[in-house]
Chain A
Amino acid sequence: MINLETPKKHRGLIDNAHQVAMNMLRPISRKYDRAEHEYPKELDMLAAMIDGLSDSGQNSGAGASGVRRGEERKDDDGRVKNGANLASVLSIAEMCWGDTGLLLSLPRQGLGNSAIASVADDEQAQRFAGMWAAMAITEPGTGSDSASIRTTAVQDGDEYVINGEKIYVTSGERADAVVVWATLDRSLGRAAIKSFVVPKGTPGMRVERLEQKLGIRASDTAAITFTDCRVPAANLLGTPEIDTKQGFAGAMATFDNTRPLVAGMAVGCARASLDLTRELLEQAGVVVDYDRPAQTQSAAAARFLQMEADWEGAKLLMMQAAWMADNRKPNSLEASMAKAKAGRVGSDITLGCVELAGSVGYGEGELLEKWARDSKILDIFEGTQQIQQLIVARRILGLSSSELK
C-alpha cells in the first residue's frame, strides 16, 4: 500500500538523532568550522553512544551499516521491509541537519566502514568490526574516472605490496584504517581493481598533508602516500580473482549503498537552511501560504516554495533508493537519481537561503553561509552530479559505457 511517511519503527531513532544533532553538533558547529584540522573530541562520546545503540540492536543503522548482499534473509516473509538502509539515510539526514562536517568525522562511521559492510566476507567483517575505516579512491590524476587508478597492489607471498598516492581521504589521519583501491594489473582494466584494508601505522603509509577546504572543515581530508606498503593478503576485501565479466561490479556495489547516504547528507544540510530561513522570513513578515498560488505571493515566498518542493522530491528519492535496498531490489539507478537530485538541490537551497536572508545569511553570525559552503562537496564526492547523470542516462537509454562516454 502506497505510503511515503517516515516509518513508524524508525521514528524513535530519528528523534534521537535530531536531539543529538541539536544538542551536541550545533553547539560546536562554528567552533570546528573555524578550527580546521582540530580533532572534535566531543565526538568520541557520541560514537560510543552510537556503538551502544548498535549493540543493543536498537540502532538499525545510524551510520555506515551498509548492506550485505547475497545473504539469506531469515525474515523474508514476502512483506515490505523498512530496514537498516532507510534507518541510515533518515538518521544521517538528521545528523547533517546538525552538522555535515561533524557527521563525516564520526568515529567508526566512515565510508570505509560502508565498504567493509558491503563487500567483506564474514571472517573479514568480524576481524574489522569496531574499526574506524576511511576510504581512499581518488588520486591526483584520477577523480571520477575511478577505473583508471594507478595505485598498484602486487602479491608477494601472503602479502600485497601497495604503491601509489591517494588524495581526498576523509578522516584519513584520524581513522584506524584506510580502505585503499588499487589495481592488481593495470592492463586488465576495472576488473582488476580491488580494495584493501590498510591499518594505520602500517610501514610505508604516510599522511602527507591535510587539505584546507571550502566547507565541511570539521572533517579532515588527507593526502596519503603508499610506498612499498605491505598488508596481509587476507586484507583484500571480497575475492582476489579478476573476473573480467563481472568487471567493476564488486567495487561499485559500495556506491549503491553510499550514494543514498550522501543524498541523505544533502537532504539534512538543506533542511537546516530551510528551517532557519522559514523562521527568518516569518520574522520579516513573509509567511509561506501553501494554498495560495506561488505567483500571488511575494517573490521570497515563491522561491521558498520552489526550494521546499525540490527538497521534498530529493528526500523521497533518497527514501526510495534506501527502501529498495531494504527490500533487496537492485537500486543503482534510483541511488544515482537520489544523489543527483539531492546534490544539486542541496546547493540550490543552501545558496538560495543565503540570498533570501541577505546579509544575515552571508555573515558568520548565522550558520546559513556555512551550510552553503558545506553543501557543495555533496554534489561532488561519491560521484559528481555529472557521473550520476551519466549512470542514469545509460540506464534509461540502455547504453553501454563505450556508447555513452
Chain B
Amino acid sequence: MSLLRATRNAGGKHGLASGETRDPIGIAVAALNKVAQLDLLDRFGLRRPTEQTVFTLTRGGFRAAGAASRAFQRRGKRGEPGVRAPVVDRPGVFDLTPTEDEQMLVDVVTELADEVLRPAAAEADETCAAPEDLLKASLDIGLPILGVPEKLGGISEERSAVAGTLVAEALATGDMGLAVATLAPGAVATAISLWGTDEQQATYLPEFTGDDVPAAALALTEPGVLYDVLEPATTATRTDDGYVLDGTKTLVPRGSDAELFVIGARLDGTPVLFLVESGAQGLTVEADPAMGVRAAGLTRLTLDGVRVADGAVLGDTDGSTYVECVRLSRLAWCALAVGTGQAVLDYVTTYVNEREAFGEPISHRQSVAFMVANIAIELQAMRLVTWKAAARAAQGKEFAREVALARKLCADKGMQIGLDGVQLLGGHGFVKEHPVERWYRDLRAIGVMEGGVLV
C-alpha cells in the first residue's frame, strides 16, 4: 500500500476544502494517524473500551432494508376526503393563558420530561437510541394521537397546533433528542389526520390509535449544501398504477424501526408528500448520526425505484400540502428550541449562583448575570413568536410569515443560548458531566432540520 502517494492532496474529506494540501510534516502526521487506527491498539487494549461500544454511531454501521412493516389493511374509500379537525374559534382577545386542557397536557408531559427524559438523555445521546420503556411511556400518555381527531380515535377536538407546540416545548425541557424520538410517530399520524383521504385515514390511523403503535417518520431533509426543502431532489414518476420514487432523505428520526414514512418528492416539478411503507422494495435505511438530536436515532433513507400505489399521495399535488407541512414542521422545531432554551436557562441559573470565584458566586458579576438576563429575554421572545405562529395555524389563518420569523429567531437566538450555556459553565460546560454541551449540539438543529416533527 502506498501510503505517501495519495496523501498530498488532503481535500474532499474530513471536512477539508478541496484546495487543502499536506506538507511533509502533514504527510507524516497523516501516516501516524493511519497506524493509530489499526486494530493493533485494540488488541492490546490500548484504546478506551467505551469508544467501541457505540457501534451505531458510525456512518455505515448498518445498512438494511427498512424495518419489516406490518400488513396495513387497506380500508376506507380512495379519493374520498378524510375527517378533519375543525379550526379553533378566533377569540379576538390577546391572551397568553393555555386552555385548561392544554395546561393539563403540559403538566403531564413536563413530568415525563423531568422524570423520564432528562435522566435517560445522556445515554440515549451516546447510543443514538431512545430506551424502549421511555417510548412506551410516551405512547401511554397519547403523544402520537395528539393531532388525531376524536372521531378517528384520537384526542384532538380541534386543530391541535397550539397543544402540539406546548407539548413539544415541554418535552424538550427534558431532552430534545428524546422529544424528537417520541414525537416522530405523531408527526405522521398528524399529517394523515390533516391531509389524508378516507382510505389513508382508515388504513393507517387505527394502528396509531390502537395498542401496538408503529414507529413512523416524516422525511423531508435531503443531503446537500444550501438545501432548499421546497425543491427536493427526490423524484416521483408516474406509472400506470402509481408512482416510482427515487432519491435520498437524511436526518430521518427512527428510520430503522419506522414502519411508515411520509416522504417528500417532486412530481412534475412540484413538491408532494407520499406515504411509503417500510417494507417497500428499493427502500434502504442506514444510520446517519449527526452533531446532536442523536437520541432520535437519525437515519438516511435511500429510495431506489420504490413503487407506491396510486393512493399513496398525501394531500394536494399542487405543492400546497407540502409547503403547509414544511411550515408546521418548522413550528415544531421552534417549540423544541424554546423547551431546550428553557432547560439551559434553568440549569445555568442554578450553576452561576452556586459556583464561586474570587470569593463570591459568579452570578454577582454583571458579565455573567447579563448573559443570563439575555438568555431569559431572548427565550421569552422566541416563545411568544412561536406561540403566535401556532395560534394562527390553529385558527386557520395565514401563518407563513409568523413561522418564518419564529424559525429565524429560534435558529439565531436558540444557538446563542446554547453557546452561552456552555460558556457560563466554562470548562465544566465542555465536558459531558453537564448537559449543556448536549443542548449546544441539539440547538444547532434549528434552522437545519426539515420534517421529523410536526404540530
Contacts and interface: CB of A to CB of B under 8 A. Distances in A.
Interface of A: 1-9, 80, 82, 86, 290-296, 305-306, 308-310, 312-314, 316-317, 319-320, 323, 334, 337, 340-341, 386, 389-390, 392-394, 396-399, 403-405
Contacts of B213: none
B142 to A, nearest CB: 20
A7 B229 contact: no
Interface of B: 88, 90-99, 102, 162, 226-230, 323, 326-327, 345, 349, 352-353, 361, 363-364, 366, 369-370, 372-374, 376-378, 380-382, 384-385, 387-388, 390-392, 395, 400-406, 408-409, 412-413, 447
Given A320-B384, A337-B376, A309 B408 contact: yes
Contacts of B353: 397-399
A80 B97 CA distance: 9
The 5 A-B residue pairs whose C-beta atoms are closest, nearest first, are A313-B381, A290-B404, A8-B92, A316-B384, A393-B369
A291 B162 contact: no
B92 A291 contact: no
Contacts of B97: 1-2, 80
Contacts of B404: 290-291, 305, 309
Given A308-B405, A309-B409, A323-B96, A317 B380 contact: yes
B408 A397 contact: no
25 contacts: A2-B102, A4-B94, A4-B388, A7-B92, A7-B94, A82-B94, A291-B326, A295-B226, A305-B404, A306-B408, A308-B405, A309-B385, A309-B412, A312-B388, A312-B409, A317-B377, A320-B96, A334-B380, A341-B381, A389-B370, A390-B369, A393-B363, A396-B372, A404-B366, A405-B366
A343 to B, nearest CB: 11
B262 to A, nearest CB: 18
Given A2-B95, A393-B370, A396-B373, A313 B228 contact: no
Contacts of B88: 1
A334 B395 CA distance: 27
Nearest to A7: B94
Contacts of A82: 93-94
Interface centre among B99, B345, B385, B412 (most CB of A within 10 A): B385
A375 B228 CA distance: 36
Nearest to B390: A2
Nearest to A307: B408
A323 B406 CA distance: 21
A1 B95 contact: yes
Contacts of B384: 4, 313, 316-317, 320
Contacts of A337: 376-377, 380
B409 A293 contact: no
B327 A291 contact: yes
B94 A396 contact: no
Nearest to A9: B92
Nearest to A310: B409
Given A320-B96, A393-B369, A1 B385 contact: no
A311 to B, nearest CB: 8
Contacts of B392: 5
A341 B385 contact: no
B93 A392 contact: no
B27 to A, nearest CB: 36
A244 to B, nearest CB: 24
A389 B373 contact: yes
